[in-house]
Structure 1
Amino acid sequence: MKETIKFTIIALLIFVVLIGIIIWPLPGFIVLVVFLLLLGFYDLFQKKHTILRNFPVIGHIRYLLEMIGPEIHQYFVESDTDGKPIDKNHRSYIYERAKEQNETHPFGTELDVYDDNYKWMQHSIYPAMKMKTPPRVTIGGKSCQQPYSASIFNISAMSYGALSQNAIQALNLGAKAGNFFHDTGEGGISKYHLQGGDLVWEIGTGYFGCRTNEGKFDAEKFREKANSEAVKMIEIKISQGAKPGHGGVLPAAKNNQEIAEIRGVPPHTDVLSPPGHSAFSDAEGLLQFVQQLRVLSNGKPVGFKLAVGSKQEFIEICEKMVETGIKPDFITVDGAEGGTGAAPIDFSNYVGMPWEDALIFVVDTLHAYKLKKEIKIITATKIFTAFDIFKALCLGADVCNSARGMMLALGCIQALKCNTNECPTGVATNNPKLVRGLVVSEKWKRVRNYHKNILEDFLELLSASGCHSLEQMDRNLIYKKVDKQWQSYS
């Protein structure tokens, strides 16, 4: 229905232009001007389409190209399986589930199933009965006094500042409606995060929201915020895949007065988080910090997030867990393919272990030290589809997060303007003229829909695999090519 309305408007626009040309000059000019003014007012005040709210009339050109331009796109721009960092097929998958449009795909697979990078899942000729409700995972080890029941799919870390106030509100309302968690990112907790959704408060190297004037960790400020009812878990950010070993970057153009006050930094300046933490400098210090945050938060689940670089450093952390008896409740594993609003290109492209290898290494190392039973693994790199979730859980993850998937559900069009404050969809900007295009009352529903529908897809895959529960999932179900032969990950 919505696509029909869009097509009708574009067809009417073309018709009016043609009529205007025929009866040109004066009558046609008047007809054209009146029509464009009416169309512009309609675009400006409708709430469904961000691009049209922000770019009245001319925004229809984009939709026109979408409708008449598949061949132009295919032969002269990019194929549906190209496009970086997220190809068109994956973007369409997310949009369709967020808008609850057609969720089937015509004419068969577009992937090269003989490509060396192709992965596939084993199915059973005796499918299991599909679960009626998606399973949940309890996060919290023996030292945790307030364990949390998590959805297997959630909103990954994105800060207020990196995203707009409207985007943060819509994400949190979507999380509330869908009963899944919203990771705050390292930028602190803003009022826009407090719409009723469950929060994972991420503490980065800048300690935003719990820092002294000198930028050190402030225990009392942390205690006050960590014991908020909205905060369900605490995540210490050691590093992220898009820029491991570098620290977060908030460009001056996005650092307005409100954001600066939340973070405790000067406004209108580049905010560069330190590359490492000042609260600890080794494995034992990290675990002592985990324990400190657990005590200050009255026993809420505490974990840490990292992109793997040195395997030996992670092994040392595991050795110290065994030695001290201090264990995090969860570990979030990021990969080198992770997303970011701003990062130096060398860090983004060449630093850190790729996601799949990092996840397998962390899971296997925890098993080797007999630690995995108490520690849940969250993973968050390019999780867009139900198969992505299925694969991650088979490889050993317990919970999946998505950042860019949720941005696309909000209406992101991958304009690649995240670091300029010029995002045309109002998602990754603080420019009020662009933020207004993102209507919170409409977009939170798309976040909820995306979450709901991707989990429905996941349950169908789980059924097709013959599994009756998450516990039956393992690496035998996923295949990759090794030396030109198909082998499972087991």
Structure 2
Amino acid sequence: MRLRFTRVSERARYYERYLPFVIAILMMPLGYALTGPAPVFGTVVALLGLAGTLTGIYDLIQTQHALMRNYPLSSRMRYLLEHFRPEIRQYFVEDDHAETPFSREQRAVVYRRSKGIEGVRPFGTLHDVYSDGYEWLNHALATTSLDSQDFRIRIGGPDCTRPYDSSVVNISGMSYGALSPNAIEALNRAARAGGFAHTTGEGSISRYHRMGGDLVWQIGSGYFGCRDVNGKFDPGSFAENAADDAVKMIEIKLSQGAKPGHGGILPGPKVTEAIAEARGVPVGVACVSPSSHSAFSTPRQLCDFIARLRDLAGGKPVGLKMCVGHPWEWFALAKAFHATGIAPDFIVVDGGEGGTGAAPVEFADHKGAPLRDGLMLVHNTLVGVGLRDRIKLVASAKIITAFDICRISALGADSVNMARGFMFAIGCIQAQSCHTGKCPTGITTQDPDRYRALVVPNKAERAARFHAATMHALKEACESSGLEHPDQFTPHHLMIRTSPREVRSAASLYDWLAPGVLLSEASAHPAFAKYWDRAQIDSFAMAG
């Protein structure tokens, strides 16, 4: 009896494999029969049956997919659901706080603020305030009342003759080529309207960046916009571009979060005329950013390059962008800054969680120090060598709200750069198709049919409104903590729950170096104890 039942079950599963195909075949005569009493409906049924039958026949005879041969027609439902899985998860499955990569709550905050919609929440927080890792900022009984939300910091060390008064919230580097012309133009117009800075990305300054907004010109290993015919650094073209009044600062890109090599390959296989014009490369040729810089190969040489760029730029601030990797390499840089007396005016610390147009999953998930760890290491090092007051620190990676800004300021940052936040502001829906050239909102594509739908004046207004609303929220956060400026947040203001019954401030939870301590004695901090003495200014390699 059991054997017979087993055989019946096997036959049932066998027939189930072909049931959709059989139904499609039967729909053709059924539709034909219905054309008499219901001509339109019958024709539709017959045509659907014909299409399904032809598709099923193709599935049976093709040799590329075993699943389709074993399950004609029905297997296609699996592929269809798999195709729409990210959208199904994003809109129907994930909760408001699942950061994959940005949560629904984070996106909603940006959308509301960019549209000028009230962002208050009724009935209290949705977070579990007693879960491990929950964070909050202490408020003050003696609050402040600030007249302005236009928080600024002055960037420019003693060797800089043309310092820049920067907003504490600016646009992070996103190249034209990775972003569409309309997206770049909208962001730059927003920067002009809101009085904040727009970092070009390593793709250099395009015609769409020249809409009146302040620019931070990013120089990558491809030296786009300042390269000779061999791809080497060209001081003449650099000086010409750096003289533009819109260019307020120069940023040397060493690495970034999800693409931690010294540059990597920029998105897009072959460049258009406008991209070629910005980058100084031939039209139609593959645009590759080398894996390392050719203008320097040691920490000391990087210091010389910084001084050279500052001189060629007429005294404008010159800084670095980096995601922390080997700690001894960063320590070598810090030692070189101290030994040579040549230091960058600012350092943008990118986190390993920071996004990019496209990156291998191994890089996106497991390369580069996360922002907090990298920032605190850089901050501690500069304090330890007595250079922290001279160098401003900019944090960049998954920063969206005013709380994100306050938290990272408490851990050592002077200002922040946002990329995805401003992308959401101009319409990004996190479709995660940036690398395909088929962005549904026209932001990360060079297809005119797609990016023409992105209306520049409207999107520029939204991005500027998002910046203004974020600055207003930041002002209220400072006032409630009794502060005058975000740079007054300290580790003592940030509280972190370590267990259901224990809470510690960031000041006590993490190790913090005393000013100048690395110049006179060894630090007990694990990273410094292991690697500080093995870092050398004439090589990025660790001494034996």
Identify unmatched segments of 5+ residues in structure 1. 1-23, 27-71
CA drift at 1:395 = 1.2
Alpha-carbon distance in structure 2 between the residues aligned to 1:181 and 1:135: 13
1:382 aligns with 2:398: yes
- Given that 1:188 and 1:203 are in contact with CA atoms closer than 8 Å, whether structure 2 keeps it comes out as yes
Secondary structure of 2:150 counterpart:
coil
Secondary structure of 1:272 counterpart:
coil
Among the aligned pairs, what percent are the same residue? 48
Alpha-carbon distance in structure 2 between the residues aligned to 1:384 and 1:149: 22
Q: Which moved more, 1:243-252 or 1:459-468?
A: 243-252
How has the CA–CA distance of structure 1 residues 249 and 107 changed in structure 2, closer, same or farther, with 3 Å as cutoff? farther
- Given that 1:240 and 1:305 are in contact with CA atoms closer than 8 Å, whether structure 2 keeps it comes out as yes
Partner residue, 1:330:
346
Q: TM-score, normalised by structure 2?
A: 0.75
CA drift at 1:185 = 0.3
**1:455-470 matches, cutoff 5 A:** 455-470=471-486
- Given that 1:334 and 1:381 are in contact with CA atoms closer than 8 Å, whether structure 2 keeps it comes out as yes
Q: Could you tell me which of 350, 353, 359 is aligned with 2:366? A: 350
Partner residue, 1:315:
331
Secondary structure of 1:475 counterpart:
coil
**1:21-60 matches, cutoff 5 A:** none
Which amino acid in 2 is paired with 1:227?
Answer: A
1:109 aligns with 2:125: yes
Alpha-carbon distance in structure 1 between the residues aligned to 2:505 and 2:39: 70
How has the CA–CA distance of structure 1 residues 470 and 416 changed in structure 2, closer, same or farther, with 3 Å as cutoff? closer
Partner residue, 1:423:
439
Larger RCO, structure (CA 8 Å, separation 6 or more): 1
Alpha-carbon distance in structure 2 between the residues aligned to 1:254 and 1:414: 25
Which amino acid in 2 is paired with 1:229?
Answer: D
RMSD of aligned alpha carbons: 1.9
Partner residue, 1:412:
428
Alpha-carbon distance in structure 2 between the residues aligned to 1:471 and 1:274: 36
Cα deviation, 1:392-438, whole Å, max 9, x if unaligned, reads: 11111111110000000010000111111100101111100001110
- Given that 2:191 and 2:198 are in contact with CA atoms closer than 8 Å, whether structure 1 keeps it comes out as yes
Alpha-carbon distance in structure 1 between the residues aligned to 2:296 and 2:269: 31
Alpha-carbon distance in structure 1 between the residues aligned to 2:162 and 2:90: 52
Cα deviation, 1:49-96, whole Å, max 9, x if unaligned, reads: xxxxxxxxxxxxxxxxxxxxxxx9799521111251101000000000
CA drift at 1:246 = 5.6
Alpha-carbon distance in structure 2 between the residues aligned to 1:116 and 1:172: 40
CA drift at 1:267 = 4.3
CA drift at 1:481 = 3.0
- Given that 1:253 and 1:420 are in contact with CA atoms closer than 8 Å, whether structure 2 keeps it comes out as no
Secondary structure of 2:249 counterpart:
strand
Q: Which of structures 1 and 2 has the bigger CA Rg?
A: 2
How has the CA–CA distance of structure 1 residues 211 and 183 changed in structure 2, closer, same or farther, with 3 Å as cutoff? same
1:89 aligns with 2:105: yes
CA drift at 1:201 = 0.1
Alpha-carbon distance in structure 1 between the residues aligned to 2:90 and 2:166: 40
CA drift at 1:253 = 5.3
CA drift at 1:282 = 1.0
1:264 aligns with 2:273: no
Alpha-carbon distance in structure 1 between the residues aligned to 2:210 and 2:92: 45
Alpha-carbon distance in structure 1 between the residues aligned to 2:267 and 2:200: 18
Partner residue, 1:150:
166
Q: Which moved more, 1:246-255 or 1:192-201?
A: 246-255
1:139 aligns with 2:170: no
How has the CA–CA distance of structure 1 residues 379 and 129 changed in structure 2, closer, same or farther, with 3 Å as cutoff? same
Q: Which moved more, 1:73-82 or 1:123-132?
A: 73-82
Partner residue, 2:231:
215
Which amino acid in 2 is paired with 1:387?
Answer: F
1:197 aligns with 2:213: yes
Q: Could you tell me which of 401, 408, 414 is aligned with 1:392? A: 408
1:489 aligns with 2:506: yes
Q: Could you tell me which of 96, 111, 120 is aligned with 1:80? A: 96
CA drift at 1:261 = 3.5
- Given that 2:151 and 2:167 are in contact with CA atoms closer than 8 Å, whether structure 1 keeps it comes out as yes
Partner residue, 1:435:
451
Cα deviation, 1:237-282, whole Å, max 9, x if unaligned, reads: 0000111026233343573232134223354555331121110011
Secondary structure of 2:472 counterpart:
helix
Secondary structure of 1:137 counterpart:
strand
Partner residue, 1:67:
none
Q: Could you tell me which of 261, 274, 290 is aligned with 1:274? A: 290
Identify unmatched segments of 5+ residues in structure 2. 1-37, 41-87, 508-544
Alpha-carbon distance in structure 1 between the residues aligned to 2:168 and 2:39: 62
Which amino acid in 2 is paired with 1:426?
Answer: G
| Corresponding residue pairs, total | 422
Partner residue, 1:294:
310
Partner residue, 2:22:
none
Cα deviation, 1:131-186, whole Å, max 9, x if unaligned, reads: 43322100001000100000000000000001010011110000000000000000
